[in-house]
Amino acid sequence: MIDIHSHILPEMDDGSGNIQESIEMARKAVEQGITDIIATPHYIKGKYENDKEKVEEETRKLNQVLDEMDIPLKVWPGQEIRISDVLIDDYDNNKIMGLNASRYILLELPLNHVPRYMERLIYDLQMKRMTPIIAHPERNLEIIKNPQLLKELIWKGAYSQITAGSITGKFGWRTKRFSKFLVHSGLTHFIASDSHNVGNRGFQIREANKIIEKSFGKDAVNGFKENAENVLYGKRVKELLFH
Ligand SMILES: [Fe+2]
């Protein structure tokens, strides 16, 4: 199984605090049945400026440690990029990258609203042959109030990724209900851990998959798994519709 969103690299952001914690996280990931994980440290201007080069270097180092310790997990480089009006400049300047250098780029919205320049940003990225994946839309306050906003972004060609913990109820029953609504409406394409540590922000993908299987069937679980694989290998992502 592949996890396309994690903060497993040490000392980059509010995720893993040190290499020991990264190793523990890797062990937990393996327990979940994860074989490949994309490290997506935050890239936020003025806060966490984890550029492409740094992420690639840290990914290489972590893989080396895991290899030496015989932990069967492969880490691939990526970023979770907070949207900004200079995002395209950052792309042009090689500061940001797609997930495992694919055309799929993981974007983070502010928590409380969807900036009006978002549609333009999707278009500008598409002009660069990039496809945005919107991270955890189920936690954006404006999308919760008006899911049509997400639908419009998806019509424009974006994909979306729900956090496993949102499905399991970690962020409350409202988030859980809304996440299931997004799956049911075909408004999401990926389930990922967004794991930050071995404590309260762990993996939960296996638990989320059980709930998805119960509500939407085995095909739904397989669809999400295949899409994560398609991202890692730069293949075409599938639309998913389950009723
Ligand atoms: Fe994240």
Predicted confidence (pLDDT) at residue 207 exceeds the cutoff of 80: yes
Return d(Cα 127, Cα 241) in angstroms, integer: 27
Domains, the chain, with CATH or none: 2-232 (3.20.20.140)
Question: Residue 29's closest CA among 162, 192, 242?
Answer: 192
When pLDDT is cut at 50, 70 and 90, the band that residue 188 belongs to is very high
pLDDT digits (tens, 9 = 90+) for 134-147: 999 999 999 999 99
Q: Which residues surround ligand 1, an ion (CB under 5 A)?
A: 80, 194
pLDDT given at position 242: 73
Overall average pLDDT of the 195-220 stretch = 95
pLDDT digits (tens, 9 = 90+) for 148-179: 999 999 999 999 999 999 999 999 999 999 99
**Single-letter code of the amino acid located at 110:** P
Percent of the chain at pLDDT > 70 equals 100
Return d(Cα 39, Cα 187) in angstroms, integer: 24
Length of the chain: 243
Q: What is the whole-number distance in angstroms between the Cα of residue 7 and the centre of ligand 1?
A: 6
Query: How are strands ordered across the β-sheet holding 104-108?
Result: 48-49, 42-44, 80-82, 104-108, 131-135, 159-163, 190-192
Q: What is the whole-number distance in angstroms between the Cα of residue 107 and the centre of ligand 1?
A: 9
Predicted confidence (pLDDT) at residue 243 exceeds the cutoff of 70: no
pLDDT given at position 240: 86
pLDDT digits (tens, 9 = 90+) for 114-137: 999 999 999 999 999 999 999 999
Q: What is the whole-number distance in angstroms between the Cα of residue 98 and the centre of ligand 1?
A: 14
Q: What is the whole-number distance in angstroms between the Cα of residue 79 and the centre of ligand 1?
A: 9
Q: What is the whole-number distance in angstroms between the Cα of residue 93 and the centre of ligand 1?
A: 23
